Chain A
Amino acid sequence: MELTILRGAQALGSLSMRPLHSPALPRRALWLAAAALLLATTGCRRHQSRTTAHEPVQGGTLIYATDREPICLDPHVQGDMPQVFLAEQYLDSLVAMDRSGHILPWLATDWAVSDDGRTYTFHLRHDVTFTDGTPLTAEAVRANLDHMVDPHTQSSTAGGYIKQYAGTDIIDTYTAAVHLKTPYAAFLEVLAQGFLGIESPRALARPRDENCQNPVGSGPFRIVRWDHQSQIVLARNPAYHWGPPTALHTGPARLDGIEWRIIPEASVRFAALQAGEVDVIDSLPPEAETPAQRNPDLWLLMADRPGNPTNGTLNIKRAPFDDIRVREAFIRSADIDGALASVFFHHYRRAGSPLSPTTPFYSPAFEHHADYDPDRARALLDQAGWTGRTEEGIRTRDGRPLVVHIPLKASLSAAERTLWEQVQATARATGFDVRLENGDDTTILEREGQWDYDVRIGYWNTSTADVLRIVFSSAFLGAAGVGGHHQNEAGFSDPAFDRVVNDALLTTDPDKRRALYLQAQTIAAQNFLQITTYPQSTRLALSRAVHDVRLEPSLNVTSLYDSWVTR
């Protein structure tokens, strides 16, 4: 019941939270659910603990443990989730986004959009300095946007988001006019993400790899040093008084500093939290979630991330998935709910739509468009001519067995790995021979670059429905980023779809955008391009000594700016 009500709260586009223990007592569960719903809809200010009577404490160091180390600390380069989590602590963005998707001022106090939608004029705060002493000026905005689109930066995420960028004119010291080649209605939405955080132009002028080691921002903390494969040390920026409007307080951060530890092993990370060696862990694995809920010394902070949910994208450029019937049959052969009930311990909900529910313009109409239905799957395979059978019961057509190759990266979590093993077993029952092929991450990235897969496991976190254009439009069929993978991993190319997602960028009228994104979701769903599994989410477990940890709404990434610790 608790879960159902929470789902309701999530559907409102709010923060999902399961803050306390969840014993089987229905009354207590109901109370908790009610509290969670209330908190979720009121912006979750007071969720953290029974110790709300405390006044925030100044000082102290917070130890944060995460699973993956960033490959570069500058989020412009490549652009993977570990980078944006760190960026949120030491970078500010031009604009912020609130829980309902509204764009709010941050480093830019206000902005104007030209009538043709191709020029954004930003007026900047006058009182911001980067931690290397460089003042924030229009020049800095230009240097940052230029840096993101510079091919040498190899920016898959930030650079991919602003492909339309044409250049920046300096109107005066604090006014920058950003020009786009084509109108881009999602521009402010992506600018709110930490991936497009504003760095010191003086630091950006250094060689890329040097900037990767110690990038400089204007955020509440600054990077002190990076001990590779161990930790990143951050210290408070005492001058900081330009926090985002989404924050809980103003002025400098309350913590003296942060130790950002890298602990890849999920069980070790959780054990370190239970032992009090670290204060906060992220990527709490599903198997640790119930023990964490039962532990009275811990609390949880969780939220689904917007974007394209965790999925297996079907490669439609080659057989067997070049046939839409085989794609639908495969998706309907996969019992995802079984996996969510077993290895995910009912903690994750199903994502059935091409957009995660927290994405602006998400439509719930597609949640069940391709549910598990082995009978329909068998009928579809018969129609598609896969009527023969091998001795082992694998379907064949013209003597060729129905084989599906799925490369599995070594970094895949145990739960995710199991999910695909269960897909393998259920799809086998309808006659698919699913080959799960283990490999190290580099090898598999190479395979992805060569379209050498039938299913590619991935996700795309972003604060805009424009993610549909990135993962399915023909403009993103080319190689991108350091690994050379394709952002459109399905190989889908449909002029009608391209037109819809491009048209959605031409207007800022929410109703028109909603209608166009509904069309885009419809086309994506009807083409059976992905097995969507569950929404990406930020899952933190925190010691009760830690207070006011917040998730910045643009991507639901951890922000430690307001946080304080009681020892």
Chain B
Amino acid sequence: MTSLSLAPSMARLPSRRRLPRPGQLGPVAAILFLTLLAIAALAPHLLTHADPLAIAPRDAFQAPSAAHPFGTDQSGRDILARVVYGARQSLALGCGAITLSLSIATILALIGGLGGRIAEQAVRWLIDILFAFPVLVLALLCTATLGSGIGPLIVAIGVGSAAGYTRMVFGQVLSVRGAGYVEAARALGHSPARIVARHILPNAFRPLVVTATMGIGQTVVWSAALSFLGLGAPPPAAEWGTMLSMGRDFIAEAWWMSFFPGLAIVLTMLSTTVAGRALQRAIEGRGP
């Protein structure tokens, strides 16, 4: 039994404990930023007292100052408040879309991996077809049929990015289903459901944890791209992509309008990537 469980994907070596060193400042900063993001999403009033929707046309286009650390936008709204309140939208989108993507991927991969030869071929074709469309094009197709707003956007990005995850989970399921420990479990008379739940899924998912973490960042970028195109939440909702899109028209006059939401998007992407890699190293136990 013990030797069987040493299949590569099962290897779970404890991460070697070390003191933080310069190479780990990145992950620490990333986790700090992600924590800040989580606070912004869950309790935005802790970070700003301004109302993200309150307009003051006569205070429009004010440069960053003590009163408005990130400046004001074209309607005199506080940009710091809008960036902070926009975090909830962005994270909800990111996490929602990833969850949807992984659900679709898991269902398809299990059908394809365990449903026999025809199902396997069908899933392969489906993945190939989905892959033929770039994510954003698929997402645009979704928003065209479902309309704009946060719900359709989650569906759009979730469906749009499902192909990649499906291929990963599918590959894992295929490699795991022939593994010795699965055969052993079958020989022991375990029910198929138990085999899937206890052996196949955990092993198929492990490499996915890292990809999904990084995927959240990618999803935030995609949702910003779609809301940049005017397909996001309707006004006046604070959304980073929409803010960026609006700011670009005034970039010569008010750089802060696009700089700060842009910075938030970049830092989110960067943090999830750095955190994801750190997670990868922790899981795979490889040193940096």
Residues on A facing B (Cβ under 8 Å) = 266-267, 285, 287-288, 290-291, 335, 338-339, 341-343, 408, 410, 413-415, 417-418, 420-422, 424-426, 435-440
Interchain CB contact under 8 A, A418 and B53? no
CB neighbours (8 Å) of A343 from chain B are 57, 60, 74-75
Q: Is A414 in contact with B246, judged by CB distance below 8 angstroms?
A: yes
For B242, give the chain A residue with the smallest CB separation.
A438
CB distance from A416 to the nearest CB of B (A): 11
Knowing that A421-B235, A425-B75, A437-B148 are A-B contacts, what are 16 other residue pairs whose CB atoms are under 8 Å apart, sorted by A's residue number? A267-B252, A335-B57, A338-B55, A339-B57, A341-B57, A342-B61, A343-B57, A343-B60, A413-B249, A414-B246, A415-B249, A420-B235, A422-B57, A424-B236, A426-B55, A438-B230
Residues of B near A291 (CB, < 8 A) are 252-253
Check B249–A414 contact: CB distance below 8 A: yes
Residues 30-74 of B at the A interface (beta carbon under 8 Å): 53-55, 57-58, 60-61, 74
Q: Is the CB of B75 within 8 A of A438?
A: no
Chain A residues lying within 8 Å of B147, measured Cβ to Cβ, are 439
Are A422's CB and B55's CB within 8 A? yes
Report how far A426 CA is from B56 CA in the complex, Å: 10
| Complex Cα gap A56–B76 (Å) | 47
Rounded to whole Å, the gap between the CB of B287 and the closest CB of chain A is: 47
Q: How many interface residues does B have (CB within 8 Å)?
A: 27
Q: How far is the CA of A508 from the CA of B231 in the complex (A)?
A: 50
The contact of A438 among B76, B144, B234, B250, by CB within 8 Å, is: B234
> Are A338 and B58 also in contact (CB < 8 A) when A424-B236, A436-B235 are?
yes
A497–B55 Cα gap in the complex (Å)? 39
**Residues from chain A with Cβ under 8 Å of B53 in the complex:** 425
Known: A421-B235, A438-B234. A266 touches B249 (CB 8 A): yes
Indicate which residue in B232, B236, B253 contacts A421 across the interface (CB closer than 8 Å): B236
Which residues of chain B come closer than 8 Å to A435, judged between CB atoms? Answer: 234
**Distance (whole angstroms) from the CB of A409 to the closest CB of chain B:** 9
25 contacts between A and B (CB under 8 A): A267-B249, A287-B249, A287-B253, A338-B57, A338-B58, A342-B61, A343-B74, A343-B75, A408-B230, A413-B249, A414-B249, A417-B246, A418-B74, A421-B235, A422-B55, A424-B235, A424-B236, A425-B54, A425-B55, A425-B75, A435-B234, A436-B234, A437-B234, A438-B231, A438-B232
**Which among A343, A410, A414 has the highest number of chain B CB atoms within 10 Å?**
A343
Query: How far apart are the CA atoms of A271 and B144 in the complex, in Å?
Result: 32
1/0 contact trace for B229-257 toward A, CB 8 Å?
11110111000000000101111110000
With a cutoff of 8 Å between Cβ atoms, the chain B residues found around residue A339 in the complex are 57
Nearest B residue to A339 via CB reads B57
Q: Choose from A288, A418, A440 the contact partner of B246 (Cβ within 8 Å).
A: A418
A426–B249 CA distance with the chains assembled, in angstroms: 23
Given contacts A339-B57, A424-B235, contact A439 B252 (CB under 8 A): no
Bound CA span A387–B256, Å: 41
Contacts of A440 in B (CB 8 A): 144
10 residue pairs, one from A and one from B, having the closest CB atoms = A338-B57, A342-B60, A342-B57, A414-B249, A425-B55, A343-B74, A436-B235, A438-B230, A421-B235, A418-B74
- Other-chain contact of B74, A266, A267, A342, A425 (Cβ < 8 Å): A342
CA distance A249 to B115 in the complex (A): 82
Residue contact B148 to A439, C-beta cutoff 8 Å: yes
Is the CB–CB distance between A425 and B60 below 8 Å? no
B75: chain A residues at CB < 8 Å are 342-343, 418, 421-422, 425
Q: Which residues of B contact A338 (CB under 8 A)?
A: 55, 57-58
A414 CA to B57 CA in the complex, in Å?
A: 15
**Cα–Cα, bound, A420→B74 (Å):** 12
B58 touches A341 (CB 8 A): yes
